[in-house]
Amino acid sequence: MIMRKILTITAMILMCPVFLTGCWDRREINDIAFVLGTAVDKEGSAYRTSVQVALPGELGGASGKGVSGGKGWYIESALGKTIRLSTSAVQRSNSRELNASTRRSLIIGEELAREGISSMLDIFTRVPQNRLLSVVAVTEGPAYEILNTDALIEPYPSEMVRELILSYTKNPIRIVTLLDELLSEGLDVILPIIKVDPSVPPKVGEVVKNISIDGLAIFKGDQMVGTLKGDLARIIILGMNQNKSIEMTIPAPMGEGTLEILFRHSHVKLVPKIQGDDVTMQVNMQLVGTVTESASDFSPTSNMGMRKLEESVQEKVKSDLTKALAVLQNQYHADSLGFGQTIQRKKPKDWDRLKSRWQDIYPHVKVEIAVDMHLETVGQALEPMGLPEEEVIHD
């Protein structure tokens, strides 16, 4: 009996090394190239994949510079018949294994976006290493140009893209949400547009290539069909409940000039009204803002004056949203605010009846806009600066 126990214990001890052999699939840090950002483009019948890769020996520098003064990153780029083949071509020219788990942003070139992005996104659903929380944007022109900008305020350009998008909307589109929206009924995708932007005019000083957001890319299905810029882009951000720090120029309710209004808080509720095939979407907007600049001779020194200014904001918001929705409904036929998705959620029986014909019904949906605007403050100065008292228009 004792001998049997001894033999059992001995066998267990001898088996221990079998379970202590380590991770069979581990990768040494020296064998990995960390991808910071990816750009995909269409060139003729081929696809170009460009990756921004960290230089380990240069990490630690500030403002995009490495420890020895050079860039802390470099770009690899290659063509292929598919996105996967172009990515494989990039890998073949790199001595280390590309690792996309650290990617901050995915940038899609305009030509590829207009062709359709579903096939491009296929690779991101099949390779587990791909980071699905990377933010997504479309570029004006080739996407790879964004990766080669200076963007000195951030460590590398792909991080600059990420920070810009995070500051633009409350819930930025990431790869995982993009995939979800493409598969959703009654909703068309909107992505921010980024472009290369000179930091200063040539006469001011040394020009560096910076990055800026230049509006919204409008998709119908998986294809980019157009853009919205300026006030129309800003009002759609408000209408999507994505406002983070939207500012709008408002005509003065009395006198001449304009005022800048910052929307600090906003809430939008869509309410569908359906009778047969006649669909009306009520857009209820609650906005809270402040005056950030006055380039007018109007001074709202009473409750009546504040109310007049609030009414001017309401009229401007209604006017801009009406124009933007007309473009979406009549020109692009894109349900970017998710009218169909709202009906599916709030009136599922009606949606089951309408969804097969929604593409024909959507352009004819009537929109009723109600805006409740509240201005918290006009700042510390009640009177317009630099104007004599007799030239100021009071309410």
Q: What is the pLDDT of residues 314-354, one digit of tens each?
A: 999 999 999 999 999 999 999 999 999 999 999 999 999 99
What's the pLDDT score for residue 119? 84
Q: Residue 139: is its pLDDT beyond 90?
A: yes
What's the pLDDT score for residue 101? 86
For residue 111, name the pLDDT band (cuts at 50, 70, 90).
Answer: very high
Instruction: Answer for the pair 328, 239: CB distance below 8 angstroms, yes or no.
Output: no
CATH homologous superfamily of 233-395: Nutrient germinant receptor protein C, domain 3 (3.30.300.210)
Say which residue, 204 or 310, is predicted with more confidence: 310
| Closest to 284 (Cα-Cα) out of 275, 294, 274, 273 | 273
For residue 127, name the pLDDT band (cuts at 50, 70, 90).
Answer: confident
What's the pLDDT score for residue 13? 58
What integer is the mean pLDDT of 190-215?
A: 83
What's the pLDDT score for residue 294? 82
37-51, 118-132, 193-207, range with greatest mean pLDDT? 37-51
Q: Residue 66: is its pLDDT beyond 70?
A: no
Q: Residue 375: is its pLDDT beyond 80?
A: yes
Say which residue, 151 or 229, is predicted with more confidence: 229
For the entire predicted model, the pTM comes to 0.84
Rounded to the nearest integer, the mean pLDDT of the chain is 85
The first and second tokens of residue 205, run together, are: 């000083």
- Least confident stretch, 3-17, 127-141, 233-247, 278-292: 3-17
For 89-109, how does the pLDDT look when each residue is reduced to its tens digit (9 = 90+)?
A: 998 988 888 888 889 999 999
Q: If you search the block for the tokens 């006198």, which residue do you land on?
A: 255
For residue 388, name the pLDDT band (cuts at 50, 70, 90).
Answer: very low
The first and second tokens of residue 29, run together, are: 């840090």
Buried b (16+ CB within 10 A) or exposed e, 239-257: bbbbbeebebebbbbbeee
Round to whole Å and give the CA distance between 54 and 389.
60
| Burial of 41 per CB tally in 10 Å (0-12, 13-18, 19+) | buried
CATH 3.30.300.210 in the chain, residue ranges: 233-395
Q: Residue 205: is its pLDDT beyond 70?
A: no
For residue 303, name the pLDDT band (cuts at 50, 70, 90).
Answer: confident
- For residue 328, CA distances in Å to 74, 218, 230 come to 39, 8, 15
Orientation of helix 230-239 relative to helix 303-326, angle to 10°: 100
What's the pLDDT score for residue 390? 44
N-to-C CA span, the chain:
105
